[in-house]
Structure formats: structure tokens, C-alpha cells
Amino acid sequence: MIHALRAEWMRLARPRTFAWVLPLTVIYAAVITYVMMANAAPGPGGGAVTAFALSRDGGGILSVVSGAAFASVLLLAVFVGLSAGTMARGTWRAALLHQPRRLSLAAGTYAAQVLLIALLAAVLLAAGLVSAYAIAPSHGVDTSAWMSLESWRMTGEDYVRIVAFAAGWGLLGTLVGVLTRSVAVGLGLAILWAGPIENILGDQLSVMRHWSPGLVLRDMLVPGSAVVPEPRAALVLAAYALVVVLVLAVVLRRRDVTA
Amino acid sequence: MTGLVGPNGAGKTTIMAMLLGLVRPTDGTGRVLGHDLGDPTAYLHRVGALIEGPAFFPGLSGRQSLEHLALLGGHDPARIPGVLELVGLDEREGDAFRSYSLGMKQRLGIAASLLGDPDLVILDEPTNGVDPAGMRDIRAMIRRIASEGRSVLVSSHLLAELEAVCDHLVVINRGGLQYEGDLASLPTAAGGSLSLRTLRAADAPRLVELLRNQGLEAAVDAGDIPTLRVDLGGLAGAQLAADLNDRAHAAGITLSELHENHDSLEDRVLALVGEGVRS
């Protein structure tokens, strides 16, 4: 698994990748922070991005953490593209000729991808905090609590939530990519599900709101406004993760590699 | 060096994929380098392969592609310059894979197959889509790989290519083994033949008659001066040619052409499988 992780990291973490991913992450953090602050409602808000919440402990990254939830479809699309692309392009087959342990190869590859996401999440939070400091004065947001110990504790917690959120969407995207083995079909299915179906059904059906993986992942990321309580969300997501990993393990081990 | 041939759908790539642990056999047994086919992890570290075309990430350079695979397989990265030089890509190693020609991609695929210093190299259609000069280079490359003491299993739809490099042949059709053995021992299509041509067109019918008197039936090709083809049917071609030359001369027939036809590998394989041989 370590071989696969190092190989995938070597492939992903190239200067060329960072040359466009890092600026995009910084721009996304700055834009989302500005939009959230500019539109922050007055009042306590109960987990939402309000002027009151922004001026409390952890307020410096509140905008960017809430905004990270909007990246779900992007994350899903990226992981579908990565996994389906490697199947369709034949690079999965080529990799197996050098690393025949399929599960180790898949696990190491996924771990490297999540590692990159974790790095970008750190950049996102840092850029969000810097942006918040720059934007806050023009919107009358008090920043005095942002460097408290509690704020740093909350930042660490939010960082773990963002990485878990991304890893969850990544696992779903990997499953869709592996099952479809087609970037076009995989992306179509994934976007259809994560976009209209999940959100429309989530609004209409309470069972969807409580059980749909994407919506529960969003609840986990922003627990203050969650419909599903945090411990239950963690259990549901762990169960989903277990099922996805098992399905992936069976499919990857048993399926012939013909492309 | 063993060639694997058979018509479309015969199962060549499937066999190679099974040897490489990519496809699970539904029945039967097999051994690779002394290990059971069902446990490919036991032998794959000693096998290098190029199957179903070269597949690399388009944005990586040739060198980065090999570094990626070296990390993946735990191969010694010090081998990378050597294999790039062997396949003639050392001067283009920094270029992106997507910018390579088809021949260069095939060569990078062969380089990747050699990264782990394998005992067995499996190459599926290594000259696919390559121009004649590239084919010659790849042929020389395969010979060099084999000369380093490695076993090589190569499939190609260009049977002349296999004839030039292989000493052992496996012919399959519809999933079944048709022939397995030395290239030289592959049965001829029809026992060989002689071709004869007279200097003057008017002598052709007389030559047919002369052959008939010797108990030989000649197939006559159309043309101003027809070419006669006589199946040897197990007779020694050189001896019969000399004998017929004497008899024609004695009959006042001047031959402008007399030679023994050796069946090409394609003729012989076609005779075995009974249809067009393609990958």
C-alpha cells in the first residue's frame, strides 16, 4: 500500500498540479468568505453564518467551512474522474502489472488522493482565515476572538470534518467510477444524484434527509445546522463507508481487468 | 522466444491476461515460472509485460511514467536510464507521454515491462500501429531482450515479424491449441511446391504435357506466359527441380524460371487455423 501511495503522490503532487490547484483553492476561500460575510444575517443563527457567529470563537473560518459544503459535487466529480479515468485509460491495468495486489493498489491510491485533499483543506482554512481578517473590518465583524485557544481547537475540529467530508465524497466517487468504468457515465450519474435528486428528494422526503449519504455528510461538516444529530450521522456514515469499502473490495478483487 | 498467434478472437490476449493475473481462468490449470496460475502475486515480480497497448498518464513525461511505475512496483529506479536507452527514448524522456508518436508509446511500454529486470517478458502486439522502421527497431529490441537471457512471449498479427524473431510458436484458434513447438517444425501448408515458367508461351502446353507424363499435375496461372505450379506432395523439391530441368531441356523447352516455393509462416498458420490470421 505504501508503494501505491508514494507512486500516486508522486503523480499528483507535481508543481504543475499545485500551480493551478493552489491558486484556485485560495480564490475559492477568498470568494466564499467574502460572499458569506457580505450576506451574513444578524442574530445568533444556530450554526448558520451570521454576524454574531462570525465574531465568536472560530468565526474566522466559519465562512470557509460552511462554503466547503458547496464543493461536494466538485469532489464527487474529481474522484469519479480519477477512478473511472484510470479504468478507462488502461492505467489501472498497467499499474496492476507492477503492483498485482489490487486492494493495496486501490487503498494506496485513494490514500494519496485524500492526502492531497487534506493538504488543500489546510490551505483552504488558512486562506479563509487570512481573507476573513482582510474582509471583516469592512463588514463590521469583530475579530478579537479568532485567535483564542477555543478558536484553534475549533479550527482543528473543522479541519478534521472537512477532510472526512472530502474523504466521504471521495469514497462515493471512487465507487461510482469503479462500477461504471466510464468518466462520462460516472460523472453523469454522480452529478445527477448529488445535484438534483439528492437535494430535491431531501427537501421532500424526511427519510432521504436522514439517510442520504451526501446530506448526512453535509450535516457532519456543519453540525450546528444539522438535521441528523452528530453521533447518529457518524454512525450512518461509518456504515456507508463500510459498505462502500466492502463493495469496492469485492469488485476490484473479483472483476477481470479487460480494458 | 515464443510467438503466440491465432485469428481474431482466438484468445491470445485473454491467455496473456490470464498469465498476468488480470483475467481469472474459468477452468484448467497452468504454471508460470514454476508457480500456479491462480497465485499471480507469487511470480508477477519476475514478469514484465505490455498488454493491450501502452497505457500511461498523458501528462507525465516518459521518465516520470517509469518513475511512477518503479515506485509502484518497488523496482530499482537506477534501471530507468538503461531501459530508456534500450528503447531509444533517452533523448525524449522529458517529453509528455501525450506528445509521443504511437511507436514511441509502444517503446515506452516495452521499457516499462523491463523495469523490474524480469525473467519473462510478455508482449502483446508490440508493433501495433508502428511504421516499418519502427518495426525493425522493435524487432531488434526484442532480440536484445531475449539475448539477455530472458524468456519472451510475443503475440503479433504480423506473422512475418514473429518469423523474424521467434524460435518457438504457439498457434491457437477458438480457445484451443492448434500447434505448439519449434517454428521450423510447423507443418507446411501443402508440402511445398515448384514454380516453372517457359521462355516461350508456345512451350507452356508442352511443359504441362511433359509434367503429366511424369505423373505430375500442374496448376496453370493466367498470363501471357503462364506460370505452372506443381505441388511437391512430399517429394524432395531440389531433386525434382533438377530432374524436370533436365527433361525440359531434352524436350527443347527452355525454362526462364524454376524454383521451389517455401510456405511462409502465414501460409502454414493459415493451413492450421483455416482462416485469416489477425490479432
Q: What ipTM does this complex have? A: 0.79
Q: Which of A136-145, A229-238, B113-122, B228-237 has the lowest mean pLDDT?
A: B228-237
Inspect the interface and report whether the beta carbons of A257 and B67 lie closer than 8 Å.
no
Q: Provide the CB-side half-sphere exposure for B160 (13 A, CA).
A: 4
CA distance A253 to A233: 30
A43: confidence class by pLDDT, cuts 50, 70, 90: low
pLDDT of B190 above 60: no
Q: Helices marked H in B50-171 — which ranges? A: 62-73, 80-86, 102-113, 132-147, 159-165
pLDDT of B276 above 50: no
Mean pLDDT of chain A: 85
pLDDT of A254 above 90: no
DSSP state of B96: B
Most confident of A43-47, B55-59, B193-197: B55-59
Q: Which residue has the higher pLDDT, B146 or A223?
A: B146
Instruction: Tell me the backbone φ, ψ of residue B158, rounded to 5 degrees.
Output: -95, 95
Inspect the interface and report whether the beta carbons of A256 and B22 lie closer than 8 Å.
yes
Which region holds residue B45: left if phi is over 0, alpha if psi is between -120 and 50, else beta?
Answer: alpha
Q: Taken in order A82, A88, A90, A92, is the CA torsion positive or negative?
A: positive
What pLDDT sits at residue B161? 76
B185: confidence class by pLDDT, cuts 50, 70, 90: confident
Instruction: Tell me the backbone φ, ψ of residue B168, rounded to 5 degrees.
Output: -135, 145
Inspect the interface and report whether the beta carbons of A93 and B40 lie closer than 8 Å.
no
CB pairs A-B closer than 8 Å: 77
Residues of chain B whose C-beta is under 8 A from some C-beta in A? 17, 20-24, 40-41, 44, 47-49, 51-57, 59-60, 64, 67-69, 71-75, 112-113, 115-116
Chain centroid to Cα B223, Å, comes to 33
Question: Which residues partner with B229 through β-bridges?
Answer: B195, B219
Inspect the interface and report whether the beta carbons of B69 and A94 lie closer than 8 Å.
yes
What pLDDT sits at residue B72? 92
pLDDT tens digits, one per residue of A179-238: 998 888 988 988 888 877 877 777 777 777 777 887 888 877 776 666 667 778 788 888
A45: confidence class by pLDDT, cuts 50, 70, 90: low
Q: Which residue has the higher pLDDT, B266 or A20?
A: A20
Cell 497497448 sits on residue: B53
CA distance B199 to A233: 95
Please return the burial class of B169, using the count of CB atoms within 10 Å of its CB with bins 0-12, 13-18 and 19+: buried
CA distance A257 to B211: 59
For range B85-104, the mean pLDDT: 88
pLDDT of A51 above 60: yes
CA distance B10 to B24: 17
Residues in chain A closer than 8 A to B112 (CB atoms): 94, 97-98
Which residue of B71, B113, B117, B122 is the best one to mutate when testing the A interface, meaning the one whose CB has the most A CBs within 10 A? Answer: B71
CB proximity A94 to B under 8 Å = yes
Inspect the interface and report whether the beta carbons of A97 and B115 lie closer than 8 Å.
no
For range B29-34, the mean pLDDT: 88
Residues in chain B closer than 8 A to A259 (CB atoms): 52
Inspect the interface and report whether the beta carbons of B22 and A258 lie closer than 8 Å.
yes
For range B60-78, the mean pLDDT: 92
Which region holds residue B82: left if phi is over 0, alpha if psi is between -120 and 50, else beta?
Answer: alpha
Cell 474566522 sits on residue: A60
For range B113-128, the mean pLDDT: 90
Q: Which residue has the higher pLDDT, B224 or B156?
A: B156
Q: Write out the three cell numbers for B100.
A: 509521443
For range A75-92, the mean pLDDT: 90
Find, among A56, A52, A34, A55, the residue nearest to A42 by Cα: A52
Which residue of A5, A8, A17, A97 is the best one to mutate when testing the B interface, meaning the one whose CB has the most B CBs within 10 A? Answer: A97
What pLDDT sits at residue A79? 92
Q: What is the dihedral of CA A117, A9, B56, A177, to 10 degrees?
A: -30
Which residue of B16, B45, B72 is the best one to mutate when testing the A interface, meaning the one whose CB has the most A CBs within 10 A? Answer: B72
Asked whether the beta carbons of A142 and A56 are under 8 A apart, the reply is no
CA distance B60 to B63: 8
Closest in B51, B56, B74 to A3, CB measured: B74
Asked whether the beta carbons of B7 and B273 are under 8 A apart, the reply is yes
Q: Which of A63-72, A85-94, B118-127 has the lowest mean pLDDT?
A: A63-72
Give CB contacts under 8 A, 24+ apart, made by A234-243: A236/A210, A236/A211, A237/A164, A237/A168, A237/A213, A240/A168, A240/A213, A240/A216, A241/A168, A241/A171
CA distance B176 to B169: 14
How are beta strands B168-173 and B255-261 bridged, if at all?
A: unpaired
Find, among A175, A181, A173, the residue nearest to A249 by Cα: A175
Smallest Cα distance from B50 to chain A, Å: 8
CA distance B4 to B121: 13
Smallest Cα distance from A90 to chain B, Å: 5
Other beta carbons less than 10 A from residue A151's beta carbon: 18
Q: Write out the three cell numbers for B252.
A: 527443347
Q: Taken in order B62, B65, B69, B71, is the CA torsion positive or negative?
A: positive
Residues in chain B closer than 8 A to A10 (CB atoms): 64, 67-68, 71
Tell me the one-letter amino acid at A49: V
Helix, strand, or coil here: B170? strand
CB proximity A4 to B under 8 Å = yes
Smallest Cα distance from A84 to chain B, Å: 13
pLDDT of A64 above 90: no
Percent of chain B with pLDDT over 70: 93
What pLDDT sits at residue A255? 87
Residues in chain A closer than 8 A to B64 (CB atoms): 10-11, 14
A113: confidence class by pLDDT, cuts 50, 70, 90: very high
